[in-house]
Amino acid sequence: MKVVKVGLLGLGTVGGGTVNVLAKNGADISRRCGCEIIVSSASARDITRPRICETDGIQLTTTPEDIINDPDIQIIVELMGGEEPAKSLILKALSNGKHVVTANKALIANHGNELFAVAEKHNVTLAYEAAIAGGIPIVKAMREGLSANSIEWLAGIINGTGNFILTEMRDKGSAFADVLKEAQELGYAEADPEYDVEGIDAAHKLCILASLAFGMPLDFKSVYTEGISTITPLDVTYAEELGYRIKHLGVARKTDKGVEMRVHPTLIPEKRLIANVDGVMNAVVVKGNAVGSTLYYGPGAGAEATASAVIADIVDICRQLDAPSDSAVPALGFATDQLKALPIVPIEEIITAYYLRLSVEDKPGVMAAITTILGNNGISIEAVQQKEPEQHGASAQVILLTNSVVEKSMLIALAQIETLDSVNQPAIRIRVESLQ
């Protein structure tokens, strides 16, 4: 049986998981791709550190260039993370005629257009299934399984840390800061959690998903990003009472005006399957015009879950090693010369429904003033609740669900509402998606 040698750049959690899964499932993997896959080399900053995998038979080095320049290695797997030196190493590997597999979503989102062009120039593959949603094969599903469809929209819970935090806030009534600390202690959140809780990680992934969906070049800078650090247990509870769950959602939608790409907290009806995705799990809903809505669910991180996606890309490359270079599936699912830049809809121009919470003085006429302002701005109310103050003199809470409206109209209305003497604090505003 033909042997294909693989070199790993990075031997941390996912690198070790990749070695372990290849060892555990090697026989079945070989049967699927018709060759034996061997990890012959791996680079790490400290090769003396204990690993989660056996390293017997693997040549370890602190110099990743040794692996990239090794003529016997056909596939490079980049698991270092970060933009540099990962980008430079991948460019060198592609230029050396080596296929590359990466789990680096930030690198693909920010530099994928350049990297894919270099891969195409040198007739090699740059694969990235593991960059989005861990073990969920969402890239293959969108690029190949849904290729008969015109994609209308997609929505995903694509960051497990944020989903864990919101789940714990709902189940335990805990404050954001307390759950974040718990997530850090459990290893779900980094010491600096900004990328997770402020939506940057999810935005990287959404950028790639949008390009796969709509055949457009990667455009990370156009993704609107909003985090979950301002979500309170009060809003989680009130959303539940209204029949909704709050999720940190990435949404990409094609409209007559262009493409929406946005990451933000979102109320989702609790009857939707994706509203019931809890803990560190990920899920993506994709709406195609032929198939309708399809849901992809699974672990968004973890050593062997992510390794599953890494190895799937290695298997795909092995299957194509002796095939003509022009038979490979395009990196973003559309022929390179068919990728088209599309206008991006500014966040102020999107149309969605809203959850509003207002802290107001408990006196007559307050609701009339609020509803008048909303009505003057073309905003109709679907549901309203008023929570009486817990003690004399405290603020009452008014919770409103609106029908769909252009965001800029909502912003104008809220600015006017917040000038009322009876409104004590800035309004809490969370977008609502029905996902139908």
- SS3 of 152-179: EEEEEECCHHHHHHHHHHHHHCCCHHHH
Same domain, yes or no, for 292 and 314?
Answer: no
Rounded to whole angstroms, the Cα distance separating 358 from 341 reads: 40
Domain boundary among the residues 286, 311, 338 is at 338
Q: Looking at the structure, do residues 293 and 308 belong to the same domain, yes or no?
A: no
Catalytic site includes residue 2: no
Query: Which pLDDT score, from 0 to 100, does residue 365 have?
Result: 86
Q: Which domain holds residue 245?
A: 139-299
Task: Examine the domain organization and report whether 219 and 116 are in the same domain.
Answer: no
Q: Can you give the pLDDT at residue 325?
A: 67
User: How do beta strands 281-288 and 151-157 pair?
Assistant: antiparallel
Domain identity same for 90 and 174: no
Residues of the chain with pLDDT under 50: none
**Are 218 and 187 contained in the same domain?**
yes
Residue 98 and residue 119: Cα distance in Å, rounded? 9
Residues 145 and 92 in one domain: no
E strand map for 202-257: 224-225, 244-255
First vs last C-alpha separation in the chain: 49
Radius of gyration of the chain (CA): 24
Query: How many domains is the chain built from?
Result: 3
Residue 330's contacts (CB-CB under 8 Å, 6 or more residues apart) are: 143, 336
The CATH number of the domain holding residue 220 is 3.30.360.10
Same structural domain, 307 and 276: no
CATH number at 105 reads 3.40.50.720
Alpha carbon 409 to its chain's center: 29
Residue 163 to residue 247: CA distance in whole angstroms: 7
Side-chain-facing half-sphere of 1: CA atoms under 13 Å: 16
Residues 385 and 425 in one domain: yes
Same domain, 226 and 247: yes
Q: Could you tell me if residue 324 is inside a domain?
A: yes
Within a domain: residue 91?
A: yes
Residue 402 lies in a domain: yes
Contact (CB, 8 A) for 226 and 347? no
Token pair in block for residue 8: 């790993």
Judge whether 162 lies within some domain.
yes
Q: Could you report the per-residue pLDDT of 19-61, keeping only the tens digit for each?
A: 999 999 999 999 999 999 999 999 999 999 999 999 999 999 9
Residue tagged active-site, from 98, 105, 140, 205: 205
CATH number reported for the structural domain that contains residue 385 in this entry: 3.30.70.260
345 is a domain residue: no
How far apart are alpha carbons 54 and 77 in whole angstroms? 18
Question: d(Cα 12, Cα 78) in Å, to the nearest integer?
Answer: 11
Please, is 290 exposed, middle or buried when counting C-beta atoms within 10 Å of its C-beta (0-12, 13-18, 19+)?
Answer: exposed
346 assigned to some structural domain: no
Judgement on whether residues 155 and 289 belong to the same structural domain of the protein: yes
Beta bridge partners of 288: 151, 292
Last residue of a domain, one of 338, 359, 386: 338
Beta bridge partner(s), residue 296 = 284
Asked if residue 284 and residue 356 are part of one domain, the reply reads: no
Model confidence, pTM: 0.95
Residue 327 belongs to some domain of the structure: yes
124, 211: one domain: no
pLDDT at res. 303: 92
Residue 135 and residue 146: Cα distance in Å, rounded? Answer: 18
Kindly state whether residue 72 falls inside one of the protein's structural domains.
Answer: yes
